[in-house]
């Protein structure tokens, strides 16, 4: 895979999604929109769960993975449908700009702009502004972590929860899991190196917290965090390292390592039975966290 062009990789991942993503997941509704972004329109897909109650709903703003080079709203459609039903949230999937056409920090700029827009239009979207989570997988989880850091730094949106699936938290982390699972476990480190060559410009600094959120100077006062890793994922230790750092900063954090699974398992719920079980569990944990009274959520963030 690391020998493919970006366009060929995108087509390959779309083909893969047709085979392994969860299919025919019935939800209440889905709606495609385009919102203004820093360099043009940003596509959104809004998923309403099958079972809804009157009034506003909690929300999960979701950033798909794909190393910042491939994948899309479409490749993560089944995942977002399951998350909507299990979490009871309106899941809002964000289609940010991809490299190499749009190198770092374009994706981050889009992700933060989309988060601000969603908070600013909460009434029209039917979401509770005090129960909005931000999440993502892989590179999308990195975006989610950075959005939460920037929201704190800029006194921006008051995010209630961050949900990080197999996050990449330090581009230069020399970890046991990266060495042990570098080859032969679906996502290989050769693909990671390939992606960095497309995503980063020559002047990019991998110690920049927007690329490596683990390197942020101050992690205090970030939202309560759910981190999910996979046993056979090169980036398993990235998630553990970020969980440990958040814990040291007194941020409430839950770390779950899904045994027997690989990177990208969350988009393989149509082919791996336990992956579907895991994704449903992730959705239920979001539901439980956001079902707290707003005051309890704020108390958790201050612990």
Which residues are tagged catalytic? 138, 233, 263
Angle between helices 77-87 and 273-290 (to 10 degrees): 50
58 - beta bridge partners?
Answer: none
Peptide bond into 105 cis (omega under 30): yes
Q: Which two tokens stand for residue 300?
A: 């958790």
Which helix (H) or strand (E) covers residue 183, if one does?
none
Alpha carbon distance 218, 106 (integer Å): 24
- Cβ of 55: how many Cβ atoms within 10 Å? 7
The rounded distance, in Å, linking the Cα atoms of 301 and 292 is 12
* Residue 290 and residue 133 in contact, taking contact as beta carbons nearer than 8 Å: yes
Rounded distance, CA 298 to CA 129, Å? 12
**Which residues make Cβ contacts (< 8 Å) with residue 111, sequence separation at least 6?**
63, 94, 96, 143, 144, 146, 147
């Amino acid at each position: 895979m690391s020998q493919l062009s970006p366009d060929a990789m995108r087509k390959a991942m779309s083909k893969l999604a047709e085979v392994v993503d969860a299919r025919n997941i019935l939800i209440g509704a889905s709606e495609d929109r385009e919102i203004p972004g820093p360099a043009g329109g940003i596509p959104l897909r809004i998923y309403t769960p099958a079972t809804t109650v009157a009034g506003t709903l909690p929300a999960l703003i979701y950033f798909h993975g794909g190393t910042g080079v491939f994948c899309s709203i479409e490749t993560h459609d089944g995942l977002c449908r399951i998350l909507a039903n299990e979490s009871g949230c309106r899941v809002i999937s964000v289609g940010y700009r991809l490299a190499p056409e749009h190198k770092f920090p374009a994706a981050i700029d889009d992700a933060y702009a989309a988060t601000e827009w969603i908070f600013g239009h909460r009434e029209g979207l039917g979401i509770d502004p005090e129960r909005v989570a931000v999440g993502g997988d892989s590179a999308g989880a990195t975006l989610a972590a950075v959005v939460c850091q920037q929201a704190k730094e800029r006194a921006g949106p008051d995010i209630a929860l961050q949900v990080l699936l197999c996050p990449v938290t330090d581009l230069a982390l020399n970890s046991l899991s990266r060495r042990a699972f570098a080859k032969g476990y679906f996502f290989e480190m050769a693909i990671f190196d390939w992606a960095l060559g497309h995503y980063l410009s020559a002047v990019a600094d991998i110690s920049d917290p927007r690329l490596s959120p683990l390197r942020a100077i101050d992690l205090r006062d970030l939202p309560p965090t759910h981190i999910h890793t996979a046993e056979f994922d090169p980036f398993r230790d990235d998630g553990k390292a970020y969980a440990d750092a958040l814990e040291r900063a007194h941020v409430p954090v839950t770390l779950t390592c899904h045994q027997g699974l690989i990177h990208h398992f969350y988009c393989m719920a149509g082919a791996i039975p336990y992956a579907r079980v895991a994704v449903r569990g992730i959705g239920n944990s979001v539901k439980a966290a956001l079902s707290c009274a707003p005051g309890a959520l704020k108390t958790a963030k201050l612990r």
